[in-house]
Amino acid sequence: MTRIKFCGLKTLDDIYAANEILPEYVGFVFAPKSKRYVTPAQAEKLRGALSEKICAVGVFVNEKISTVAELLNAGIIDAAQLHGDEDDGYIKNLRALSDKLIIKAFKIEEIEKLVPSSQFLVPILIDAGAGDGKVFDWSLLKDFRGEYFLAGGLNPENVGAAIELLHPFAVDVSSGIETDGRKDFGKMKAFADAVRKDFL
């Protein structure tokens, strides 16, 4: 079954909604330029209320390796998702400081030039851009081999079609489960139901 990641959670209400729906992953955004940015202190509070069944992922853009490792090793997050220019050297150095899960994000135009995902050092996420909620041409991934997180413009209405076409390891959603910039429980539930419809 395709896994679910709700990204950009900011409030305790977001956490309570996630605890009820139980996606496999939730994301806390540590990129200061993002409207979904949370501080480490805020993330620690949110994490304290999060179900132990859910993996907390920190989203970073060109953050210092020591900062990412500190959040991982403190247990504030279980995994790091890298959305900047982090290269293999960065990943190896981070892995030397923490054995937690690392996910590397790529834009779809980069993926066309890259080897199958089984060749990457870590699991990958494929997006249209930098978390801007836009859908890309999914057919570009139809022949891509390996497991990946699919992101970019997903919502309760289109995620079923994306899964049917691509069968990704996981689907990652943020703006697609929001109303007026805030997480919407109804949309979160509808998204999860659409992903899990064949298993309900």
What's the whole-model pTM score? Answer: 0.92
Boundaries of domain holding 70: 3-195
Where residue 67 sits, what CATH number does that domain have? 3.20.20.70
Per-residue model confidence as pLDDT tens digits over 13-31: 999 999 999 999 999 999 9
Any alpha helices (H) in 74-180, and if so which ranges? Answer: 88-97, 108-111, 159-166
Domain membership of residue 32 (yes or no) is yes
pLDDT at residue 113, rounded to an integer: 62
Is the confidence at residue 198, as pLDDT, over 80?
no
Within-domain flag for 119: yes
Q: Note whether 97 and 121 are within 8 A (CB).
A: no
Within-domain flag for 8: yes
Residue 200 resides in a domain: no
Percentage of residues of the chain with pLDDT beyond 70? 91
Asked if residue 53 is part of any domain, the answer here is yes
Q: Cα separations (Å) of 48 from 11, 44, 71, 73, 96?
A: 12, 6, 14, 15, 26
Asked if residue 71 belongs to a domain, the reply is yes
Active site residues: 7, 127
On whether residue 187 sits in a domain, the answer given is: yes
Tally of domains within the chain: 1
pLDDT of residue 140: 84
